[in-house]
Structure 1
Amino acid sequence: MALTHDPLSFIHAVAYDDLPKAVQDQTILNVLDLVGVGIGGAQTKLSKIICNHAEFQFEGRHRMLFDGRRASATGAALALGMTIDALDGHDGFNPAKGHIGCGVFAGAVAIAQETGLKDGREFLATIAMGYELGGRLALALHGTVPDYHTSGAWVAVAGAAIGARLLKLDPDQTRHALGIAEYHGPRSQMMRDIDYPTMVKDGSGWGAMAGVSAAFLARDGFTGAPAITLEQAPEYWADVGQRWISLEQYYKPYPVCRWAQAPIEGVLELRRTHGLTPEDVERIEVETFHESVRLATNEPKNTEEAQYSTSFPCAVAMAKGTVGPEDIADDALTDPELMRLSKSLRMIEDESANAMFPAKRLARVRLILCDGRTLQGEWMTPRWDAEAPPTPDELREKFHSITDPLIGESAAGNIEASLFGLPDLGLRPLLELLSQPMRR
């Protein structure tokens, strides 16, 4: 069918068969990546706290993913969004300076549980719709207000759209749901968490909760002011249903902030080229853009500080040749050689890198060696950008690298099979598998 550029109509009109085959396939891979990161995130203290909170403060009948206990739909959305966000390894959208999938998936699962949705094709179409709205909502918000808001600010509106679709709200109720979500969504300032890394993270869980709540409120007659990002920013919506933002996501090979990933690649390239060990390196220098320079925590005390650091994951990369979830866990932050390298790193702001942000996240690494030599690398970008995305096999390998050590190859394989079987097997088998406790 010909899809309208009107976002309010697109919410309800787009069907699985309307999606290009590439979008259908990528949506499954996006969910696979989110689930893998969520299983890793479930091991964190953040996830345990938020799931405890959801169980006791949002009492309900829906089983929380990766946890197994029960909460309301709003509580389940909060817990799932924050559990995925607890491990900073999920997909993102460069122009948005944030993440779509985390909050969209959390909201979709919560409303699917509430409505008893079984149709896997409808679930995937809803996720794809959420990506298309989420990306444009982010662009509209960042293009019309001065603050740099976390993903939760616009994920809330995308979550309300998901709720409106799956709850089958009429057009008037849909407008109110979107308006409530935009008004009450968490317009939290991203750079506050960069400067002071804590468990508040990127706001995706809170955004998912706000969006789900907005849909329920609108269904019950609660009214909201029109959503400005949808109704007063038409320039961001002219290509909806034609340009597919689902195909423009980046993915993370390492579970740390995207802004630290080009520096990691720079360190790894020099390490490989010159056969270096950490003992060879006196200090590290990184030229990059302003926001990355502010990832300044060089002695992280917990995983949140390690995930929002440039120096510590660069130290891990130099020492180990990669960075995995186990390397930035709470109990992995005491190695004296890693801390020496981390404290040695100097960040330098570069105007040419600033000019390229957010479309490109550039970094150039210099290593000052203990023998007096200086090695300088080339300008690097993060791996797995939209222009050079990971292959399906690479995303599957990432999924298993996180999940197999935590839940076993057999359980991880069953989840993967259920995900790829969504169009034919439906949603229930997948949710049943994901609703089991998955903490060590």
Structure 2
Amino acid sequence: MGLIFSDFLHDTKATTIPGEILSQGRRWLLDLLGVAAGGTSTRLSQIIRDHAAEHFAPGRRSARMLFDGRVASPLGAAMAGGMTIDSLDGHDGHKLTKGHVGCGVLPALLALTEAEGQDDDRDFLAALVVGYEIGTRAGIALHRTACDYHTSGAWIAVATAALGARVLRLDTATTREAVGIAEYHGPRSQMMRCIDAPTMVKDGSGYGAMAGVSAAYLAADGFTGAPAITIEGADVADLWSDLGSRWRITEQYFKPFPVCRWAQPALHAVMTLRQDHRLTSEMVEQISVTTFHESKRLAIRLPATTEEAQYSTAYAAAVGLVHGTVGPDDVAEARFGDPEVRRLAGGMIVEESEAFNAEFPARRFSQVELRLKDGRVLNSGPTEAPGDPETPAPIEEIREKFYRYASPLGAVRAGAIDNAVSSLGKGEGMQSLRQLVSAPLPAGRKEGAPI
């Protein structure tokens, strides 16, 4: 591990990060917290938070779980938070990593700083940005060097171990051991297995966060694990040489809908045709989707679980045509019986295009054709989903989404979180934000219910 990595990790401060990059950190923080608040209503989140409380009991160090109130070890709190965010597939991501960094980095950083009694909001914001920079590069490096497609947890482990080394103020040699342990122990789970058979394991984010936090504490105790080849390998050196000059946090995409990013080009195409031609779903005989291979692999038509709904191109497109959008309610089990959605999803034609395959992952195209009952045929043309970094979503759209997803918290608490995030990095401390995101759901909120 070169000095560039170690110096960037340990010496980067809020005062050395450009203001617009700090604003990006606040932007993704607000979005992640909204998704986390919505995710607490899933069965996945309930199970993992109960599991962390029972099996990851705190020792000398403890941290509260996101939107739960109970304490766990920092490992358990990081794991529960990562899985809670991952339980509702609406968080930011990166095209070349084909995954997500923030969903593991944020809960790990919250857990580490609480466990170590660190409440400097300026350092927290700087560390969040640093986590995005390291995690994104580690993800690109793993895709470049490994023959299989691994979940986000694999590189989240590296990023969260690095953040652990920063919070614990480990020296360069011990930091090297920490990221090496994390890379070795991180969950290199095969993503396409969960695409083909969606279950609660999802993107490995929680286990990656847990593995990274564990690695930092192990290294601090003298455990060894270097080298991390996705950092130290000569074949990935170019990815790390521009730390501090190229800010990859600006390359993250925004997800307007809580379904896999690969389903969103088709969904957006359907919604655009619906709006442009003032359609109702009853006017449509059949939907045909031409897309890239990975999107076609989101193949379950009639989901029985929220995980299946979030990983379904056909279901998302059908909901978009029927309702004009897809929100957290639409991927909750209570909505799966809609006969019009079932008709359109069950009869949908989904094919792949070699031209679209060639563009993936840097670009994700889908094309939709609607055959109407009056004989007309409408075609969207090649379509990309909104929210890509080339055309970033305005902060007003991110804020509006936050309030929708955070509705289980109530308007007053959601507003207080919004204000606290906006003030982050101005020297006011972490106490207010930490309390707001650690307290449990309001009394009477039923776990597992749709938002």
Runs of 4 or more consecutive aligned structure 1 residues displaced over 4 Å after TM superposition: none
Q: Which residue of 2 aligns with 1:277?
A: 280
Identity %: 52
Report the Cα distance in structure 1 between the residues aligned to 2:107 and 2:438, rounded to whole angstroms: 13
Deviations 1:147-169 (A, max 9, x none): 11110001100000000000111
2:367 to 364, 367, 379: 364
Deviations 1:201-239 (A, max 9, x none): 111111000000000000001011300011112121121
Q: Secondary structure at the match of 2:211?
A: helix
2:21 matches 1:23: yes
TM-score relative to the length of structure 2: 0.95
Contact 1:5 1:237 in 2 (8 A): no
* The 10-residue stretch of structure 1 (423-432 or 213-222) with the greater mean CA deviation from structure 2: 423-432
Report the Cα distance in structure 2 between the residues aligned to 1:52 and 1:218, rounded to whole angstroms: 28
Contact 1:151 1:202 in 2 (8 A): yes
Report the Cα distance in structure 1 between the residues aligned to 2:189 and 2:279, rounded to whole angstroms: 41
2:343 matches 1:340: yes
Report the Cα distance in structure 2 between the residues aligned to 1:5 and 1:17, rounded to whole angstroms: 20
Give the Å deviation of 1:281: 1.1
Report the Cα distance in structure 2 between the residues aligned to 1:94 and 1:206, rounded to whole angstroms: 22
Q: How many residues align?
A: 436
Report the Cα distance in structure 1 between the residues aligned to 2:27 and 2:3, rounded to whole angstroms: 26
In structure 1, what residue type is equivalent to 2:145? T
Alignment of 1:101-120 (within 5 A): 101-120=102-121
Give the Å deviation of 1:377: 1.1
TM-score relative to the length of structure 1: 0.98
Report the Cα distance in structure 2 between the residues aligned to 1:402 and 1:154, rounded to whole angstroms: 27
Q: Which residue of 2 aligns with 1:207?
A: 208
Contact 1:5 1:239 in 2 (8 A): no
Q: Which residue of 1 aligns with 2:162?
A: 161
In structure 1, what residue type is equivalent to 2:211? A
Q: Secondary structure at the match of 1:239?
A: coil
Gaps of 5+ in 2: 447-451
Q: Which residue of 1 aligns with 2:57?
A: 59
1:237 to 235, 240, 247: 240
Report the Cα distance in structure 2 between the residues aligned to 1:393 and 1:7, rounded to whole angstroms: 35
Q: Which residue of 1 aligns with 2:259?
A: 256
Contact 1:58 1:75 in 2 (8 A): yes
Give the Å deviation of 1:5: 7.5
Gaps of 5+ in 1: none
In structure 2, what residue type is equivalent to 1:266? A
Contact 1:278 1:318 in 2 (8 A): yes
Alignment of 1:20-419 (within 5 A): 20-60=18-58, 61-232=62-233, 233-404=236-407, 406-419=408-421
In structure 2, what residue type is equivalent to 1:422? L
Give the Å deviation of 1:346: 1.3
Contact 1:104 1:127 in 2 (8 A): yes
Report the Cα distance in structure 2 between the residues aligned to 1:305 and 1:99, rounded to whole angstroms: 19
Contact 2:285 2:371 in 1 (8 A): yes
Give the Å deviation of 1:368: 1.3
Q: CA RMSD in A?
A: 1.1
Q: Secondary structure at the match of 2:406?
A: helix
Give the Å deviation of 1:18: 1.0
Report the Cα distance in structure 2 between the residues aligned to 1:344 and 1:275, rounded to whole angstroms: 22
Deviations 1:314-355 (A, max 9, x none): 111101111100111121111111111111111111011101
